[in-house]
Amino acid sequence: MTAAHSRFPRPSLMGVVNATPDSFSDGGAFHDPDAAAARVRELVADGASIVDLGGESTRPGSEPVTLAEELRRVVPVLERLGGVAPVSIDTCKAEVARVALALGAELVNDVTALRADPAMVEVVAEAGCLVCLMHMQGTPLTMQVAPRYGDVVSEVVAFLEERLAFCVAAGIPEERVILDPGIGFGKTHEHNLALVRGLGSVVAIGRPVLVGLSRKSLLGRLLGEGAPLRGTDAASVGAAAFALAQGATLFRVHDVRFHADALTVAALLAGG
């Protein structure tokens, strides 16, 4: 089984396809399974190493969806892809992960770091797949109400170390684990800034680090009044180049083509 660091050389891109009616960045556009499958193929052709398929929005304030509804959204897309395209499944439900892995997904991206569904850890351990553990304070429904930390960077690092140890104790080899500080998940603007600037502390844990900065409102806030709150693709690329310099490996992005050349050049200039 491939280790995460050899599967994803630095920098690698994870494209995003949300098969949901209400996602933060592309909600509704890929609700149709033919359109979603075509988009996955397009993102791979654009240079994505993997494409993250999600059937449940995690935008602030979003309500959870039922298992049946989430399966109804993602299974037809995976069936159309026929196990050929490199796919990651963005889910916190063990049954969705199990079905997606059987249909060819190679990575489970769980924004709860395997906390939401007690059966998830076993599904991942048994499948021998890659897994991304993300930090989130609270749940998508409530996470932006009043996020609180003493020191956000050290608390996120401690959380990710604990979740990594949990996985290893459950039989998931460390080599298969990717860590993510969870930009925008239960964090104020200042918390997000501190985490992006402090990414080196997350990288120092020793696992490949994934960051999701693409089109997040943090970027609109940085550009100030008059800028669209949803971060532009140009702003996303700037943030990704900065995160690369901090040591991030895998970038979860919506516009893959835009990021591909920019991050390749940034890595080459840095001597990577």
Which parts of this chain interact with ligand HH2 (CB under 6 A)? 16, 18, 20, 23-25, 54, 57-59, 90, 109, 111, 132, 134, 180, 182-183, 210, 212, 252
State the nearest-atom distance from the C-beta of 21 to ligand HH2, in Å: 11
State the nearest-atom distance from the C-beta of 5 to ligand HH2, in Å: 17
Q: Between 82 and 190, name the residue whose CB sits nearer to ligand HH2.
A: 190
Residue position matching structure tokens 């459950």:
170
Residues whose CB is less than 8 angstroms from the CB of residue 131 and which lie 6 or more positions away in sequence, other chains included: 107, 108, 109, 110, 114, 124, 167, 172, 176, 177, 178
Task: Classify strands 177-180 and 130-134 as parallel, antiparallel or unpaired.
Answer: parallel
- Six-digit token string for 43: 């993102």
State the nearest-atom distance from the C-beta of 111 to ligand HH2, in Å: 5
The dihedral built from the CA positions of residue 155, 246, 3 and 47, taken in this order, carries a sign that is: positive
What whole-number distance in Å separates Cα of residue 266 and Cα of residue 272?
9
Q: Between 82 and 91, name the residue whose CB sits nearer to ligand HH2.
A: 91
Contact 16, 254 (CB under 8 A): yes
Active site (annotated) includes residue 73: no
Q: In terms of DSSP H, where are the helices of the chain?
A: 4-7, 33-46, 67-81, 94-102, 120-127, 152-169, 189-197, 199-203, 217-223, 233-245, 256-269
Q: Between 57 and 137, name the residue whose CB sits nearer to ligand HH2.
A: 57
CA atoms within a 13 Å half-sphere pointing along the CA-CB vector of 234: 4
Active site (annotated) includes residue 93: no
State the nearest-atom distance from the C-beta of 211 to ligand HH2, in Å: 7
Which one is catalytic: 41, 176, 216, 257?
216
Q: Between 94 and 214, name the residue whose CB sits nearer to ligand HH2.
A: 214
State the nearest-atom distance from the C-beta of 90 to ligand HH2, in Å: 5
Q: Between 190 and 269, name the residue whose CB sits nearer to ligand HH2.
A: 190
Which one is catalytic: 39, 98, 187, 252?
252
Residues forming the active site: 216, 252
